[in-house]
Amino acid sequence: MSVSANTGELTNEFVRPQEAPRLVRAARPMVRFFIQKKIGGIAFLIATTILVLGIIGPWIAPYGKDEPFQIANPRYDVSSDDPEEFRQFIGLRLETPSWDHLLGTDDKNRDLLTRMLFGARRSMLLGFGAALIATAFGSVLGVVSGYFGGFVDLVVQRLVDSFIAFPPLLFLLLLQQTGEASLMRTIIALSFLNIFGVSRVVRSATLAVRNDVYVEAGRVIGVQPPRMIFRHVLP
């Protein structure tokens, strides 16, 4: 019902309340989060900034990642026998921050801001890649161990204990000696070291749910273990 503007009488017309734009409604929880948890909001902004820079870094980098810089040698003297004075140009080594190089240069005459932008992407690939692989394989290993129990659980957990007891630094040193270091090899090494910790956590969660009513009902009606594990237990 609504009130008529001309007569002031009640009418049976339904007036739909105006809704805020979708973007405004979607932003309200985020604004509320920043107001209630200021430190968390600042941390979120920093993490988001690093993530965005890691994605678009190579496109906004001012220079090439391995581009060296030189300046004219102020002590240049063509008749001098001193190598430092005979060279017409010298490397811009360990330069302090300036307008041309906002973060300065490193010991190889390269722009540090450019190196940081390119390195952010590699760090993201390394972190996310290792976490995803470790979570995927560790979850499968843990849920299989916890669901079947008995002999399977005993064997898997003794293997997990053996790998957890192995010194991770020694493993990384051995891996480094087997071939040339690369991003993919580093991702595989870090994910391998974290698989077994993830499997322990997932196994504990599986032990807590494997005797629930819906799991028992699935066994009674003949649901195959792979379907039960990946469709009902693991999620």
Predicted local distance difference test score (pLDDT) of residue 152 = 87
Check whether 197 has a pLDDT greater than 50.
Answer: yes
- Both tokens assigned to 231: 């469709």
Predicted local distance difference test score (pLDDT) of residue 17 = 58
Task: Report the alpha-carbon distance of residue 63 to residue 102 in Å, rounded.
Answer: 12
What is the pLDDT confidence band of residue 136, given thresholds at 50, 70 and 90?
very high
Task: Report the alpha-carbon distance of residue 202 to residue 143 in Å, rounded.
Answer: 6
Q: Which of 34-43, 87-96, 110-119, 181-190 holds the top average pLDDT?
A: 110-119
CA torsion sign for 127, 129, 131, 132 is positive
Q: Give the SS3 label for residue 11.
A: strand
What is the pLDDT confidence band of residue 2, given thresholds at 50, 70 and 90?
very low
Predicted local distance difference test score (pLDDT) of residue 138 = 92
Q: What is the mean pLDDT of the chain?
A: 80
Percentage of the residues of the chain whose pLDDT score is greater than 90 = 9
46-72: average pLDDT:
84
What is the pLDDT confidence band of residue 87, given thresholds at 50, 70 and 90?
low
Q: Give the SS3 label for residue 90.
A: strand
- One-letter amino acid identity for 133? I
Question: How buried is residue 155: exposed, middle or buried, by Cβ count under 10 Å (0-12/13-18/19+)?
Answer: exposed
Task: Report the alpha-carbon distance of residue 46 to residue 97 in Å, rounded.
Answer: 22
- Both tokens assigned to 59: 């496109």
153 close to 199: Cβ distance less than 8 angstroms = no
Predicted local distance difference test score (pLDDT) of residue 134 = 93
Nearest in space to 176 (alpha carbons), one of 190, 163, 186: 186
Predicted local distance difference test score (pLDDT) of residue 165 = 87
Stronger pLDDT, 23 or 174, i.e. the higher one: 174
What is the pLDDT confidence band of residue 135, given thresholds at 50, 70 and 90?
very high
158-181: average pLDDT:
81
Using alpha carbons only, how large is the chain's radius of gyration in Å? 31
Predicted local distance difference test score (pLDDT) of residue 104 = 86
Q: Look at 36-45, 51-60, 224-233 and tell me which has the smallest mean pLDDT.
A: 224-233
Check whether 78 has a pLDDT greater than 60.
Answer: no
Question: How buried is residue 146: exposed, middle or buried, by Cβ count under 10 Å (0-12/13-18/19+)?
Answer: buried
104-121: average pLDDT:
88
Q: Give the SS3 label for residue 123.
A: helix
Tell me the pTM: 0.70
Predicted local distance difference test score (pLDDT) of residue 73 = 65
- Both tokens assigned to 98: 């300036």
